């Protein structure tokens, strides 16, 4: 879930809409599948397996497609390492660990804060991406939604079963993704498939030692758990990265923000349907405020894009 700078692109096609719909379902359902994987493995193992499988799949694809290797430089290597940490190693671990204490619905709803958090960060770190009053108001509205989403549990993270700590871990993952998005924008030119593959390898280099230290070598698990691990590595990590790159290159990164409206809805729906998770009333109020903040901050740009005009 990263972002890049806007550029003039063609009007979105049916294929673009289909890809965005698929990404919303894939990323929204990822949190429910993570819950299934956590039945058999610890959070460090789930995160490490997901990243390593995704990296291997994307590397194989880059080789088959004969994608051009990036020009080597210390700066490029540094960016790849930092992107791997902030978009894979840290957020995947934080989300998996957080979901051992909170629900898949909460984790997915927290992810809706990502584009809102990007607004002030882009204002500071991305030249020309200014924080207008509409964007600031959208960020503020979404922040209120985030406070309602967390609820009183965060005021005492050590209480109960540690749900407050799990919620804070999920929100920390959102911060990591936001920082990783800015790093991706500022990264030297690298082929998209190789950027995804090499950054995932960097994430795996950090996660595998952490897994061995905290949880040891993984052992055999139930077929359903192994299927969940395989799905996490190949679908929301590898396949989704390719779909995302395709959409951004053909319809533009602004169009990709449509995914952020879908992910929390799918996360809440699949969590309730397949895991029997309760959906407190504050979840729906928080969802309304967060999506309202997204619409306020990005609605004009998306309306212009969908209307076939470049947003001013």
Domain ranges of the chain: 14-306
Predicted TM-score (pTM) of this structure: 0.84
pLDDT at 159: 55
Predicted pLDDT at 50 = 94
- Check residue 255 and give its pLDDT: 73
Instruction: Point out the residues of the chain with pLDDT beneath 50.
Output: 2-9, 155, 309-312
What integer pLDDT is reported at residue 133 of this predicted model?
Answer: 82
**pLDDT of res. 22:** 92
- What pLDDT, in 10s, does the model give residues 33-68? 999 999 999 999 999 999 999 999 999 999 998 999
Q: How far apart are CA 115 and CA 127, in angstroms?
A: 17
């Amino acid at each position: 879930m990263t972002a890049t700078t806007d550029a003039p692109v063609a009007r979105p096609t049916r294929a673009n809409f289909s890809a965005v719909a698929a990404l919303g379902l894939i990323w929204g359902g990822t949190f429910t599948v993570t819950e299934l994987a956590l039945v058999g493995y610890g959070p460090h193992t789930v995160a490490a397996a997901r990243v390593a499988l995704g990296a291997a799949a994307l590397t194989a694809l880059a080789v088959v497609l004969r994608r051009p290797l990036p020009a080597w430089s210390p700066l490029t290597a540094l960016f790849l390492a930092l992107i791997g940490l902030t978009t894979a190693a840290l957020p995947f671990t934080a989300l998996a660990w957080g979901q051992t204490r909170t629900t898949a619905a909460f984790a997915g709803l927290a992810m809706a804060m990502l584009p809102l958090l990007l607004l002030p960060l882009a204002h500071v770190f991305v030249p020309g991406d200014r924080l207008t009053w509409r964007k600031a108001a959208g960020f503020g509205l979404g922040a209120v939604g985030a406070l309602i989403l967390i609820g009183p549990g965060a005021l005492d993270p050590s209480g109960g079963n540690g749900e407050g700590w799990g919620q804070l871990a999920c929100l920390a993952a959102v911060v990591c993704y936001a920082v990783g998005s800015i790093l991706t924008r500022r990264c030297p030119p690298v082929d998209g498939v190789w950027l995804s593959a090499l950054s995932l390898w960097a994430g795996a280099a950090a996660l595998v030692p952490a897994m061995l230290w905290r949880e040891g070598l993984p052992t055999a698990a139930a077929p359903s758990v192994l299927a969940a691990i395989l799905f996490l590595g190949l679908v929301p990590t590898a396949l989704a990265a390719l779909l995302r790159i395709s959409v951004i290159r053909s319809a533009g990164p602004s169009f990709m923000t449509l995914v952020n409206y879908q992910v929390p809805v799918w996360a809440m729906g699949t969590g309730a349907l397949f895991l029997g998770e309760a959906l407190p009333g504050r979840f729906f109020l928080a969802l309304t405020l967060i999506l309202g903040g997204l619409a306020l901050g990005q609605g004009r740009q998306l309306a212009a894009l969908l209307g076939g005009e470049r947003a001013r």
